[in-house]
Amino acid sequence: MTQNPSRPELEEFYQRIDGHELAPLWEVIHKLLARQPITRAVPHLWRYREVRPFLLESGEIISAKEAERRVLILENPNLRGEAKTADSLYAGLQLILPGEIAPAHRHTQSALRFIVEGEGAYTAVDGERAYMNPGDLILTPSWSWHDHGHEGSDPMVWLDGLDIPQVQFFGSTFGEGYDADVFETTLPPGTNQARFGANVRAVDDLPEKPFSPLFTYPFNETNQALEKLIQSREPNPWHGYKMEYQNPMNGGPVMPTLSAFLHGMQKKFISRPYQTTEHQVFSVIRGSGKTMVGEGKDQIEISWQPKDHFVIPGWYRYTHQAEADSTLFSFSDQGSQQKLGIWREKKHEI
């Protein structure tokens, strides 16, 4: 669609209606009905070897309690100052040191934690602790009390993924602190995993809540499932081996606004070009490779290694190329888009 030409009578009309909080649709309809999805975000890579020293330095200058959450936001270069990694996603790297407690609070935003390094720390969700190990996924759904503590001996780092921009869009952002640093423990560790992680459920447990009741997904289990998948079939041409973390009550995404995935790619695998309207943030667990994002002269190369993080905004064409056997984690807004009926994908043939 083409823009309307500028004419004196139109400009004079625009000035008069502006004082009445009116605006002409025909001047912006070409953007609202663009032939391609429009995103302000751009692809970007955060190298862990460059980020980690800053994380550790932050631990020397501010405590977890002072900061409430000691996090370095992975801000998109085109969205600086907006606490956004993509148009609809927030991501950051959080540090907690031995002996620290990040005090209990809750908020309307949904959050996930993907563990990058360390052991001995925990996240407590509504009174049950989940101890963290690298590769584990832990959920803190909307309006659930949660705090973090560290009983180990080395720094603990994890990727925070939240739907902050989505909640901001609806004007529904709010939260509150608890009256103590730690929410009282009501269940022993592992209760949640035993109840909902064994493919059985109590007959009177109904899927009343829109998020997964299983708030911890241990990597020793998810990785085993991925390895069995790799042994059992040929790779998907566009994804390699891609598994979705699911809500065991209904088979849907783990939370209404955030979907999470585990990716496996064998050495020398090259995916066919792919596009999707969802925004994606990746965390590299093991292996190495590169992802070619964009087309023609605008194409960029993201060369990744373990613990690196990168973002692919919606509708950017991309191809993964694994240089070694690789495993990656990702989260996206696919669940939100599918519920709204706006999610699309495009699979390109070679």
> What is the tens place of the pLDDT at every residue in 117-132?
999 999 999 999 999 9
- In what helix (H) or strand (E) does residue 58 lie, and over which residues does it extend? helix 48-61
Q: What's the mean pLDDT when you consider all of the chain?
A: 95
Tell me if 158 sits within 8 A of 135, measured CB to CB.
no
- Residues 6 or more apart in contact with residue 152 via CB below 8 angstroms: 98, 118, 119, 120, 121
Residue 5: Cβ-neighbour burial (10 angstroms; 0-12, 13-18, 19+): exposed
Distance separating alpha carbons of residues 196 and 212, to the nearest angstrom: 9
Mean pLDDT of 155-165: 98
Tokens of 104: 């209990």
Residue 205 binned pLDDT confidence (cut-offs 50, 70, 90): confident
What residue ranges do the domains of the chain occupy?
Answer: 44-347
Residue 268 binned pLDDT confidence (cut-offs 50, 70, 90): very high
Residue 48 binned pLDDT confidence (cut-offs 50, 70, 90): very high
Distance separating alpha carbons of residues 114 and 116, to the nearest angstrom: 6
Tell me if 113 sits within 8 A of 76, measured CB to CB.
no
CA dihedral 80→82→88→90, nearest 10 degrees, is 80
Distance separating alpha carbons of residues 119 and 132, to the nearest angstrom: 6
Please name which of 258, 304, 265 lies closest in space to residue 280, comparing C-alpha atoms: 258
What per-residue confidence (pLDDT) applies to 21? 97
Query: Dihedral of CA 190/192/197/201: which sign?
Result: positive
Please name which of 259, 85, 92, 94 lies closest in space to residue 165, comparing C-alpha atoms: 85
Distance separating alpha carbons of residues 110 and 106, to the nearest angstrom: 10
pTM, two decimal places = 0.94
Instruction: For residue 340, count other CB atoms closer than 10 A to its CB.
Output: 9
Antiparallel, parallel or unpaired: β 326-332 and 280-286: antiparallel
In 209-317, where does DSSP find H-type helix?
Answer: 219-232
Mean pLDDT of 272-281: 98
Fold exhibited by the domain 44-347: Jelly Rolls (2.60.120)
What per-residue confidence (pLDDT) applies to 130? 95
Give the 3-state secondary structure of residue 244: strand
Tell me if 194 sits within 8 A of 130, measured CB to CB.
no
- Whether the per-residue pLDDT at 254 is higher than 90: the answer is yes
- Percent with pLDDT over 70 in the chain: 99
Tokens of 80: 């600086």
| E strand spans, 165-269 | 175-177, 216-217, 241-244, 259-265
